[in-house]
Structure 1
Amino acid sequence: MTRRTLAAALTTLALICSGAVQAQGFLDLVKHALPHEKQQYRSGTISEEQALSLYSAKQKQPTFDACTDQFPGGKPFNIASVSAKMQPLALCSDNFAVVYSMTSRTPLMVAERLNAAQLRDAKGEQRTNNFYPDPRIPKAGRAELSDFSRQIPQVDRGHQSPASDQPSERAMAQSFALSNMVGQSPENNRGAWSKIESDVRKFVQRAGGDVFVFTGPLFDKGFETIGPNKVWKPTRLYKLVYDASSNRAWAYVLDNKPVNVEKPMDYATFVQTTGLRLLDQLTVTGTAGRG
C-alpha cells in the first residue's frame, strides 16, 4: 500500500470514529481508498481420495460409455485408431471427454459439447484452481504437479477444456485434472489462446444448438519434455469447432509460443495441417469466420 492510499484509509477511519460516516459509507470509502488489483487465482490441489470422489463409477472405467454425448451424433472417438505406442486411454468427465496418452502423459484430444444454455450456467461457477493428478491413470503413465513447477522457461498448465466452459461445481473441479492439461507457453495461454476460447464461447452463445469442440496438442519433431516424468511439451495446439446445426467447421492451429490469432482455417486445411481426421464421419458443408 502506498503512503497516499494509507493516508486515505486512515482519514476514512477518522471520519467514522467521529460519526461523520455511517457503517455502509465507511465500507464504500475503504473500497475506493485501497488500491485496485487484478484478481489473482490461488493454485492448490486436492487429495487423491477427494479427486476420486469427483467421478462416478462409470467415469472411472477407461471407456467413453459415460460421455457419448460429448461427441457429434453420440458416436465416440475410436480409441483403437490411436497408435498403441501412445498407450491411449479413454477418460470421461461430466462435460468433456479425453483421449489420453500414457506415453506423452498428456491429453491427445479433448472433446466437449457446448451450447448457449450450458454457457449461461457456466457464468456463475467459481473457478477452483485446485490442480491434481488424475487418479484414474496409473502412476507410471500420468503427469504430476511437480512436472509443471519451477520450469525454465515457465510453463502454464493449459486447460484443453476451459474452466470457463464448466456449468457445475463438479465439472469445474474435474477440469483441473492434469489429464486435461498440457504444458503451454504462458504468453500463448493467456494471450492468443485465451482469445480463441473466448471467441468460441461467443459463437456458441449465438448458435442455434450444440457446438462440438475438439482441442489438443501437436508434437512435431524436436519437441521438448518437462518435469521429472518427462511430460511431452507440445510444439503446437489445435482447436477444431463443429456447428451441428449448420454442419460448418473451422479450426485454429497455433505454435506454442507468443503468437497472434490468425483467420481460422477450413476443415480440409486442418486435416492437411495436422493429419487429424476428426470429422470425416460427418457432413461438413462449409466454414465460418471467427466467433
Structure 2
Amino acid sequence: MKALKKLSLLAVLCLGLAACKKDDPTQPGNSQFEQKLNSKAATAGTQAVVSGFPEIFESGGKGSYAVGSVTLSSGSWSLDDALIGNLAGDAKNGSQSVRIRNTGTLSMNFNVTGADVVTVAHAKYGSDANSTWQLWYSTDSGSSWQQTGSTISTSSTTLTTATFNVSISGNVRFQIRKISGGTARINIDDFSISTGDGGTTPPPTTSGDDSNLLLGNPSNAVASTSSPENYLMDHTYYTSSYSRSRATPNWVSWHIGSSDLGSNSRQNDFRADTALPSGWYEVSNSSYSGSGFDRGHNCPSADRTASVTSNSSTFLMSNMMPQAPNNNQGPWADLENYTRSLVTAGNEVYIICGSYGSGGTGSNGGVTYTIDNGRINVPSNTWKVIVVLPNGNNDLSRITSSTRVIAVNMPNTNGLNTNWKTFRTSVNSIESATGYDLLSNVPTSIQNVIEAATDNQ
C-alpha cells in the first residue's frame, strides 16, 4: 500500500485502456473518443487498472431518465433516474458523461475481480444546487450492497476526483447512489478501478501494509447514517470514527512511514468537512474561536507533509478536538515530535488516538463541557496508542509480544507542563476507559502481552 497511497490520480486514471478499441464502429464520435483516450494514455504511469477501465462513458447513449441499461466499453451499466448527458451544462471530459438526478443510481451490471482503489470524477450540472452521493459495492453480484468510504459532496461545476481505498478481493461490482439534492443534478465521469501498482510494487497483500485500519476497527464503525455516533470516515490519509452529537472524532487511525514525511509546508486551511452526511452539523474553522481551546489535530499536520493534498486533509474540522492549549502545545506536541523521530530513525508506526469524556479546562479557566453554543463536546481526556516497527513488509505478522507499544492518556487541562512520558499507561487501561477494542487484528496471544504492558523506554 506504500506506493499505492502516494500515486497520482492521473496514474490511477490512465492505464488499462486496451479494451477500448479505436476501430469499434459502435463508438460514436470516434475521433473524440480516440482523443480522450490518447490524452489519458500520454500521462500513463505504472498503476494497473482493471481491464476496460477507466470507464469514460463515451461509447454508448441513453437519452431518458427512465431506468434502463446501456452497454459501454467496460460492460453493461444500469442507470436509474440517470442518463448519458452531452449538453453544454454537462460537466464532462470529452463529449459525454452520466447525469443523475433525485436519488438516482449508476450501477455496474457485471463483476470485476478485485479492486484496491476506485476513483470517480464528479461535478454538478450547470447552475444546479449542491448534492451528495455515495459509492456502494456488492460482492454477491448485486444481491446485497454496502457503502464504502465517505459521503461525497458535489459543489463545483468543474470535474473533481473522489478517491476510495476499497481493498476488495474476489468478485465485486460498484454503484453510485445520489442521496441528496432533490432535482439538482450531478455529472459522473472517468470511473476508474485499479488493483495496484503494475511496476515496482505488487498489489497490497491481505496484511494491508500501511493501511489506516491495519490494526483493526476499534469500535466497528460503519459508514452508515444509521450509526451517527460511530460513523466511519475514510479521508485517504487517515480513517476515523465520528460522533455526530459530540461533533468530534471518537478515534482516528493512521500510519506513518518515511515517505509520508516531506518538505511541504503546513497549509493551515481549517475548514468544514462537507463530506459529512446531509443535515449533520458541520464544525467551521471559527467554531472554536474564543473558547479557550485549540483546534487540536488528531492526525497531525506534520505527519502528512509529503504533498499539499495530504497536509491539507488534516485541516478538516472533522479531524479536530477541543484541546487545552498546554495539552496540545505541550506534552501532546512533544509526543508527536518524538513519534516522527522514530520514523526518521528507520521505523514505521501505526497510530490510533482519540478523546473521551466531557469537561476540560482551557485557557479561560473553569471546567467547560461544550463550546460553539453547545454543539461541540469538550473531552476530559485525550489518548494515543503507537505501535513501532522497524521498516519492512508484512507488518501485521511482524508484531510480536516484544513489539514496542506506547500508550498515553492525558487529562484535557491547561496545567500540563510536564514530559509526555508522565502520562504513559497500558492499552488495556485505555480500552477500559473508552470501551474500544484496540489492536483487534493482532493475534490474541500477542495482544494479551503488549496491551498489558506500559512502555518504559
Q: When the two structures are superposed, what TM-score results if normalisation uses the length of structure 2?
A: 0.45
Contact 1:100 / 1:107 at 8 angstroms: preserved in 2? yes
Residue aligning to 2:95: none
Contact 1:236 / 1:256 at 8 angstroms: preserved in 2? yes
Contact 2:217 / 2:440 at 8 angstroms: preserved in 1? no
What is the SS of the residue equivalent to 2:164?
coil
Where relative contact order (Cα < 8 A, 6+ residues apart) is larger, the structure is: 1
Q: 1:204 aligns with which of 343, 350, 357?
A: 343
Cα deviation, residue 290, structure 1: 6.5
Q: 2:250 aligns with which of 98, 108, 128?
A: 108
Q: How does 1:156-171 map to 2 (within 5 A)?
A: 156-166=294-304, 167-171=306-310
Change (3 A) 1:266 1:87: closer
1:35-92: CA deviation from partner (whole Å, max 9, x where unpaired): xxxxxxxxxxxxx958x98872537x9xxxx9x711226x55521599x775332111
The alignment status of 1:141 with 2:297, answered yes or no, reads: no
Residue aligning to 1:255: 411
CA distance in 1, matches of 2:355, 2:160: 25
Q: Specify the code of the residue in structure 2 equivalent to 1:141.
A: Y
Cα deviation, residue 105, structure 1: 0.7
Cα deviation, residue 149, structure 1: 1.2
The alignment status of 1:193 with 2:338, answered yes or no, reads: no
Change (3 A) 1:55 1:129: farther
Change (3 A) 1:190 1:168: same
CA distance in 1, matches of 2:423, 2:373: 37
Q: Which structure: greater strand fraction?
A: 2
Task: Please say which of residues 237-246 and 252-261 is displaced more in the overlay.
Answer: 237-246
The alignment status of 1:241 with 2:386, answered yes or no, reads: yes
Higher radius of gyration, 1 or 2: 2
- State the superposition RMSD in angstroms: 3.4
Q: 2:323 aligns with which of 163, 172, 184?
A: 184
Q: How does 1:44-123 map to 2 (within 5 A)?
A: 49=155, 56-58=162-164, 69-72=211-214, 76=217, 78-80=220-222, 86-119=228-261, 121=262
Cα deviation, residue 96, structure 1: 0.7
CA distance in 2, matches of 1:196, 1:54: 36
Q: How many residues align?
A: 231
Cα deviation, residue 144, structure 1: 2.3
Q: 1:125 aligns with which of 264, 273, 276?
A: 264
What percentage of aligned pairs have identical amino acids?
Answer: 20
1:231-288: CA deviation from partner (whole Å, max 9, x where unpaired): 0111110011123544432211001113222152232333234433211331334357
The alignment status of 1:218 with 2:360, answered yes or no, reads: no
Contact 2:222 / 2:232 at 8 angstroms: preserved in 1? no
Q: Which structure: greater helix fraction?
A: 1
Contact 1:199 / 1:290 at 8 angstroms: preserved in 2? no
CA distance in 2, matches of 1:212, 1:251: 12
What is the SS of the residue equivalent to 2:312?
helix
Change (3 A) 1:88 1:266: closer
What is the SS of the residue equivalent to 1:148?
coil
Contact 1:107 / 1:179 at 8 angstroms: preserved in 2? yes
Change (3 A) 1:94 1:281: closer
Residue aligning to 1:230: 375
Change (3 A) 1:172 1:290: farther
What is the SS of the residue equivalent to 2:162?
coil
Q: Specify the code of the residue in structure 2 equivalent to 1:257.
A: T
CA distance in 1, matches of 2:242, 2:371: 17
Cα deviation, residue 143, structure 1: 1.7
Q: Specify the code of the residue in structure 1 equivalent to 2:240.
A: V
Q: 2:437 aligns with which of 272, 277, 280?
A: 277
Change (3 A) 1:212 1:220: same
Task: Please say which of residues 253-262 and 218-227 is displaced more in the overlay.
Answer: 218-227
Q: When the two structures are superposed, what TM-score results if normalisation uses the length of structure 1?
A: 0.68
Change (3 A) 1:54 1:145: farther
1:13-36: CA deviation from partner (whole Å, max 9, x where unpaired): xxxxxxxxxxxxxxxxxxxxxxxx
1:131-163: CA deviation from partner (whole Å, max 9, x where unpaired): 001001135333223421122xx1110000000
Change (3 A) 1:55 1:109: farther
Q: How does 1:16-35 map to 2 (within 5 A)?
A: none
Contact 1:116 / 1:205 at 8 angstroms: preserved in 2? yes
Contact 1:157 / 1:183 at 8 angstroms: preserved in 2? yes
Contact 1:90 / 1:98 at 8 angstroms: preserved in 2? yes
Cα deviation, residue 215, structure 1: 1.0
Change (3 A) 1:54 1:207: farther
CA distance in 1, matches of 2:237, 2:314: 9
